[in-house]
Structure 1
Amino acid sequence: MKTFKISVLSKASALALGLSMSASFGVFPQQAKAQQSPPQVPETVEGRIPVAEFVKQPNMGRVKISPDATKLAYVAGRDGREMLVVLDLETMQELPILAANEARESGDRTMSEYRWIGNDHVVATVISRENLYGQLADFRRLVAFDVKTRQSIPQAWRDAGGDAGAILHIDHDKGKYLLQRDSVANSTERWGFPEVVEVDVSTGKFEMVQRTNPVVRAWVADSDGEIRAGFNSNPDDGKFRMLYKADGERNFKTVYNEADETRVGSIPTPELFIPGTDMAYTISNHDGVDKVYKMNMKTMEIVETAFETEGFDVQGIIPSKDDSKLVGVRTFDGTMRLVWTNENLKTVQTILDETFGQDKATIVDWSNDFMTQVIYVGGLERNGGYYLYDLKSGKFRLLNWDRTALKDAPLNPVKAEWYTASDGTKIQAVVTYPRHRLGEKNLPVIVMPHGGPFLALSATNSTEPWNQPLAEQGYVVIQPNYRGSGGYGKEFVKIGRQPGGYGKRMQDDLNDILTEYGKKGIIDPTRACIMGWSYGGYAAARGAQRDPELWKCAIAGAGVYDMPMMNKWDSKNLGRFSSGFQATSEDPEGISSARNTDGPWAPILIVTAKRDARIPMEQAETLVANLRKSGKVEGKDYRYIVQEQGTHNLPYDDVHIQWIEEAYAWLERFNPAYIQTDKTPEPSLMDFN
């Protein structure tokens, strides 16, 4: 493991660090001023990195440190799957614990998250998906792993119903926590109306803390472990009801009971209680964009604004380890960032910025005393890795690269840029430029709408990481936050949801990229393909059907292609109110590519996951059947791939690599990255075998 000390530390930062840490912990990190430089990295990597290398499971990710800083828990790629691993930081011995991927075989389980409880137990949330009376149902359970005895301990499984996996409060010192769970001890009719029990992590035994309430489907606890609020959302009428118990009182009272017919409002639920008061931090967009507020829970009145980002939605808050204080905020301005409100974390971030460069290092996690921190160093310019930072000595120790094969290889430059849609609306897009062709004009382009669709895609995106592998092959990749995307306030979402938005004006935003970036000379609009997954798959197929003259090809994965069919499925599985989530359209048939397969289409690659629990496989089957009926020829006009072991989230290397390699092959067939008239010769492909 590499170690080095911070190389650049201003007097102001050193003084701030010393004052802050000595005041809080009685320790002055004298050696934080040491001048040993960080490891030097190469400025460039010759040749093209194969597309598969960018989508393989990381060797280290989602890192969490134990409260006493003696161990790490993280997920690591093992034989194409994710594995939950514990690392002893003294011996550097790894202990594999649990396969972490989404379930796809009978008997598999999905691990959705994990956390430390005390210093010797990692508690994982595992999900099994079952067919219950003809409908899919997820059963959630907790399993604790004792890293000393290497035993697994079921947590409060006795009499547990469908969901027994929501942790509300943790007492690390006692090794106990509050668990919200359904119970079938007396009747299965209580499913969906949970109780709260206190669980001993070392044994899995539990005691009742809060009994079920006929109008509560979720509970919230404060930092003292007191249940303070309960919620219920009606899937048919959309009403959201909130009950609250005031500080020092015994009974709950209804403080909110309303529906948002627009589906763009953010309900002011308590994110973090302020100890000893009826105040809580909440996030709401009631005045246009999501901001962090202090709110009186008894009156539901906003008291003051605690944090805001002008023109953009705040993405979330970061609580202290004991859930008693606000230590940071997740922000967005085209790039996701962490802004620290805690003075100790602010000081550490300043040191990181001075050592590695602005926005190149991020605090991932920290020990209870703050003196040991997990840092990710990477950013938009280079592949990154995880470091352990000891504040007492000022030393950084490299733990592992997130992708060992790439190490700290340079990435293709990514920028969040604005363009103007044809109706004058300002749209932000994440643009990835091929590093081997910087400065070259009239390049081939892939327009890649993100999934959701009512989400925000960031320049630091990791959920749809296909910009880097395709830019590496020579394409400009443009991922627009088209109207309806989150992050830009509720009015921006609303203009995507209104009639004429979904499948029409939202689609125009994608087309307008070709015009705007073509004018700049950055891309050649006649060398364009459209590609996406989930909603992006819908938009890709819609583009191939509606605007075939614009696109050399289309690549659609896990998309919705028949909107009326999808709305019926949502109504059955999500409730009548929720069935309108996919689109607000006066013409659902007209915006459905599967219902409009006659006429010209751009050549389209269609990929579906047989085990997709969100978008039924019948969507792709319907599209393909109708393409055949309309005379389209397989292998020429379309290609259809069924991923037998695939799910909606591409969690395994085999299906993820197949997706990106098939996509690249389709692009090369219809819109090759390099042609004879290009000025830059095609770089050779690197061998990673």
Structure 2
Amino acid sequence: MPRLSPDASKMAAKVSYKGVEYLAIFDLTGKAQPDYFLKTEAYKEFGDRRIISWRWVGNRTLVVTAASGEIGLFEGEMGRLFSYDVEGKKLAPLAWKDAAGSASDIIHVDHKNERLLLSRTSLTYGYEYLGRPEVIDVDVRTGRFKLVQKPNILVGGWAADGKGVVRMGVGYDRDSGKTRVLYRATPDENLKTIYDKADPTFSGDLLVPEIFLAEEGKAIVTSNKDGFDKVYKIDLATMELGEPIFAVEGYDVGELGCNESCNQLQSVSVVENRSKIYWMDERLKAVQDMFEQQFGAGNARIVSSDLGDKNMLVWVGKTNQTGIYYSFNTDTGKVARIGYSNEYFGEAEMNPTKTIIYPASDGEKIHAVVTMPRHREGQRNLPVVMITHGGPFGPRDEEGFGPFAWHQAIAELGYVVVQPNYRGSGGYGRDWIKKGRDDGFGLRMQDDLNDAIDYLAAQGTVDPKRACMMGWSYGGYASARAAQRDPARWRCTIAGAGVYDLGEMRKYDRNYLGRFGSNYLSKGTADLDTVSPTQNAEGKWSPILIVHGVKDDRVPLAQAKGLVSALERSGKVRGQDFDYLYQPDNTHNFPAPSDEAEFLEATRKWLERFNPAYIASDAGKAPPVIAAK
């Protein structure tokens, strides 16, 4: 995540230096050495925190967002801000005084005056207002701040326009499921409700303005009213949508980007087979087109630029490369290599990845990402590992290395890796989400996973008798469900951070999400116990490895322990039928690379034991293992 300073004189990025991960500042003028100012894996000076992101506020201050699993009486991943004075080399908490719960939602940045607007909850208003944020104006140089917007009992998050005026508040009622949007046209007006509806289908059927346009009373919004998320201009007085101004056939649009003044739509991100940015700005579109002409369509992305969009950082890479970062100056046309995303891999092309479309047993067409082991080119009937993504509703898999390149790690061992975007996965429209919710959880969605193996087996790509499944979060649930429901299909499974007792999770989510949100598991499944692995521990199971973070607040450790206890009561033997790994410092999101590495190493050993990548009858032999330096 390299980020240019507003004047392009410096760059902030996470790097590995002498075997340790740091957040570092690089002087791009060549006048100073890199400043490795913050260890990202185990930063404990202000508590044990996971570094989430970073951004410049002016040219002298980097603002870092970190999260902790627990802050005082508040549990869950609570965000906090730190400021780093590049000149004084001083790191300090930012706007912590009276902060309660999360305090990291930056809604506006003023680079010229080195200030930001922060939406945060505060103890000042009493416990009844926890979760109802105020907005403060923060001087990032001194840390001093002043109140801009008091909390509103109906508002859970605020939004500002490009001038730093708080224009909108959005609230969600956990029990009714209604999202309410409050809006003011000018700074002096009172807020008024312009939207107040529930989405009973849980399919993202909501209208929340994202960019306030220079045209008075108009904004940019995304809506799936026509089946897919498209970009619209909306009249804030009537909440009426015009004709779509941007859409991609067959896919939902994603994140929207605005110009420097944040009063125009500048870009739209879309995940097709892989992530892509569509530029509305002709200059930026021309830059991306130039790099794609040189390196191939889809192989270049502008990732950061200065305030005038004259200096840019561009990532370049194929789907099986970690990639390279280049700098580009639009005035001079100069292109310079900044560095590899990963020095160890460099420009190496790893295991080839492509998207296929396979038929489900009920006729639906499903996209899946398939990664072939590069050492076994031309071989057929190979062992296969399915990696099932989390969510399940909303996320999806795509081509590319990505932040979690588990498919590359497993393919390097000699397995075909398949990652289905089963029904319910995001990016394929409202109806695809709804199809996952209708008798999907543990039933039809599980069939979709099985159908992917059947299809690849029919093509001669994989041996269906040499299949294992792994996954995290919902992928952990799916892996446990596979071991319990279809043991004849799966030689083994690896279940990470999964929900294994849906009834218990529904009770937990009633507190976490409210009465309305907690029902998302039960749609179409009258009896949650029927699809809960913990409640069906008897009988034959595939060998299962259970991995969970002790500090996981989203899916509590009790879910893993409950499954282990149920397996033990059913007579299954640890080390033979199942095993477990509880990671003391892990949350739901791998705060430390060492936790992820431990998970992958445990996975490798489990696969080697129950479904070895190479057996005597295989055409090839395993390549030699190169020890890490």
Same fold (TM over 0.5): yes
What is the aligned counterpart of 1:602 among 542, 551, 561? Answer: 542
Q: Give the conservation status (yes or no) of the 8 Å contact 2:319–2:400.
A: yes
Which AA in structure 1 matches 2:571? Answer: G
For the residue of structure 2 that corresponds to 1:483, the secondary structure is coil
Identity of aligned residues (%): 42
Aligned residue in 1 for 2:66: 126
Q: 1:300 to 1:405 in 2, by over 3 A?
A: same
| TM-score relative to the length of structure 1 | 0.87
Per-residue CA shift, 1:374-421, capped at 9, x if unaligned?
A: 111212132312222233333332222222111111121111110000
| TM-score relative to the length of structure 2 | 0.95
Aligned residue in 1 for 2:289: 350
Deviation at 1:359, TM superposition (A): 1.9
Q: 1:139 to 1:495 in 2, by over 3 A?
A: closer
Deviation at 1:636, TM superposition (A): 1.3
Matched, 1:562 2:488: no
Measured in 1, the distance between the counterparts of 2:17 and 2:538 equals 46
Q: How many residues align?
A: 626
Matches within 5 A, 1:397-546: 397-454=336-393, 455-460=395-400, 462-498=402-438, 500-546=439-485
For the residue of structure 2 that corresponds to 1:448, the secondary structure is strand
For the residue of structure 1 that corresponds to 2:194, the secondary structure is strand
Measured in 1, the distance between the counterparts of 2:87 and 2:45 equals 30
For the residue of structure 2 that corresponds to 1:352, the secondary structure is helix
Which AA in structure 2 matches 1:405? Answer: Y
Aligned residue in 1 for 2:252: 313
Deviation at 1:174, TM superposition (A): 1.6
Structure 1 gaps, min length 5: 1-61
Q: Which moved more, 1:659-668 or 1:570-579?
A: 570-579
What is the aligned counterpart of 2:103 among 155, 161, 164? Answer: 164
Matches within 5 A, 1:92-103: 93-101=33-41
What is the aligned counterpart of 2:180 among 225, 241, 263? Answer: 241
Matches within 5 A, 1:287-306: 287-306=226-245
Q: Give the conservation status (yes or no) of the 8 Å contact 2:320–2:400.
A: no
Q: 1:558 to 1:102 in 2, by over 3 A?
A: farther
For the residue of structure 2 that corresponds to 1:453, the secondary structure is coil
Q: Give the conservation status (yes or no) of the 8 Å contact 1:334–1:458.
A: yes
Aligned residue in 1 for 2:526: 586
Deviation at 1:650, TM superposition (A): 1.9
Which AA in structure 2 matches 1:664? Answer: R
Q: Which moved more, 1:181-190 or 1:116-125?
A: 181-190
For the residue of structure 2 that corresponds to 1:304, the secondary structure is coil
Deviation at 1:652, TM superposition (A): 1.7
Measured in 2, the distance between the counterparts of 1:276 and 1:226 equals 15
Which AA in structure 2 matches 1:374? Answer: L
Q: 1:422 to 1:616 in 2, by over 3 A?
A: same
Aligned residue in 1 for 2:596: 656
Measured in 2, the distance between the counterparts of 1:394 and 1:241 equals 48
For the residue of structure 2 that corresponds to 1:539, the secondary structure is helix
Matches within 5 A, 1:150-299: 150-247=89-186, 250-299=189-238
Measured in 2, the distance between the counterparts of 1:186 and 1:144 equals 25
Deviation at 1:136, TM superposition (A): 2.0
Measured in 1, the distance between the counterparts of 2:535 and 2:254 equals 37
Q: Give the conservation status (yes or no) of the 8 Å contact 2:84–2:90.
A: yes
Q: Give the conservation status (yes or no) of the 8 Å contact 1:100–1:112.
A: no
Deviation at 1:103, TM superposition (A): 7.9
For the residue of structure 2 that corresponds to 1:577, the secondary structure is helix
RMSD: 2.0
Matches within 5 A, 1:662-677: 662-677=602-617
Aligned residue in 1 for 2:305: 366
Measured in 2, the distance between the counterparts of 1:452 and 1:79 equals 36
For the residue of structure 2 that corresponds to 1:471, the secondary structure is helix
Measured in 2, the distance between the counterparts of 1:592 and 1:80 equals 42
Per-residue CA shift, 1:457-499, capped at 9, x if unaligned?
A: 111252432100111121110000001111111111111112x
Q: Give the conservation status (yes or no) of the 8 Å contact 1:375–1:387.
A: yes
Measured in 1, the distance between the counterparts of 2:125 and 2:537 equals 54
Matched, 1:612 2:558: no
Measured in 2, the distance between the counterparts of 1:226 and 1:395 equals 38
Aligned residue in 2 for 1:633: 573
For the residue of structure 2 that corresponds to 1:571, the secondary structure is helix
Deviation at 1:617, TM superposition (A): 0.9
Q: Give the conservation status (yes or no) of the 8 Å contact 2:165–2:187.
A: no
Deviation at 1:139, TM superposition (A): 4.2
Measured in 2, the distance between the counterparts of 1:175 and 1:253 equals 31
Q: Give the conservation status (yes or no) of the 8 Å contact 1:81–1:653.
A: no
Q: 1:104 to 1:114 in 2, by over 3 A?
A: same
Q: Give the conservation status (yes or no) of the 8 Å contact 2:155–2:171.
A: yes
Q: Which moved more, 1:352-361 or 1:79-88?
A: 79-88
Which AA in structure 2 matches 1:375? Answer: V
Deviation at 1:125, TM superposition (A): 2.1
Measured in 1, the distance between the counterparts of 2:562 and 2:125 equals 44
Per-residue CA shift, 1:279-332, capped at 9, x if unaligned?
A: 111111111111111111121110221210111111111222332222211112
Which AA in structure 2 matches 1:388? Answer: S
Matched, 1:73 2:17: no
Matched, 1:111 2:51: yes
For the residue of structure 1 that corresponds to 2:163, the secondary structure is coil
Q: Give the conservation status (yes or no) of the 8 Å contact 2:204–2:224.
A: yes
Aligned residue in 2 for 1:37: none
For the residue of structure 2 that corresponds to 1:530, the secondary structure is strand
Per-residue CA shift, 1:14-73, capped at 9, x if unaligned?
A: xxxxxxxxxxxxxxxxxxxxxxxxxxxxxxxxxxxxxxxxxxxxxxxx111001000011
Q: 1:608 to 1:105 in 2, by over 3 A?
A: farther
Measured in 2, the distance between the counterparts of 1:148 and 1:274 equals 36
Deviation at 1:82, TM superposition (A): 4.2
Q: 1:123 to 1:497 in 2, by over 3 A?
A: same
Measured in 2, the distance between the counterparts of 1:79 and 1:662 equals 26
Aligned residue in 1 for 2:622: 682
For the residue of structure 1 that corresponds to 2:210, the secondary structure is strand
Which AA in structure 1 matches 2:424? Answer: G
Which AA in structure 1 matches 2:589? Answer: N
Q: 1:138 to 1:533 in 2, by over 3 A?
A: closer
Aligned residue in 1 for 2:486: 547
Q: 1:131 to 1:565 in 2, by over 3 A?
A: farther
For the residue of structure 2 that corresponds to 1:478, the secondary structure is strand
Deviation at 1:262, TM superposition (A): 1.3
Q: 1:294 to 1:137 in 2, by over 3 A?
A: same
Aligned residue in 1 for 2:267: 328
Measured in 2, the distance between the counterparts of 1:336 and 1:181 equals 31
Higher RCO (CA-CA < 8 Å; seq separation 6+):
1
Measured in 2, the distance between the counterparts of 1:214 and 1:96 equals 43
Q: Give the conservation status (yes or no) of the 8 Å contact 2:76–2:554.
A: no
Q: Give the conservation status (yes or no) of the 8 Å contact 1:75–1:82.
A: yes
Which AA in structure 2 matches 1:346? Answer: K
Q: 1:653 to 1:131 in 2, by over 3 A?
A: closer
Per-residue CA shift, 1:157-209, capped at 9, x if unaligned?
A: 33333333221111211212222222333534332222222222211222332
Q: Give the conservation status (yes or no) of the 8 Å contact 1:102–1:111.
A: no
Which AA in structure 2 matches 1:634? Answer: R
Deviation at 1:685, TM superposition (A): 2.0
Per-residue CA shift, 1:604-633, capped at 9, x if unaligned?
A: 111121121211111111111111111111
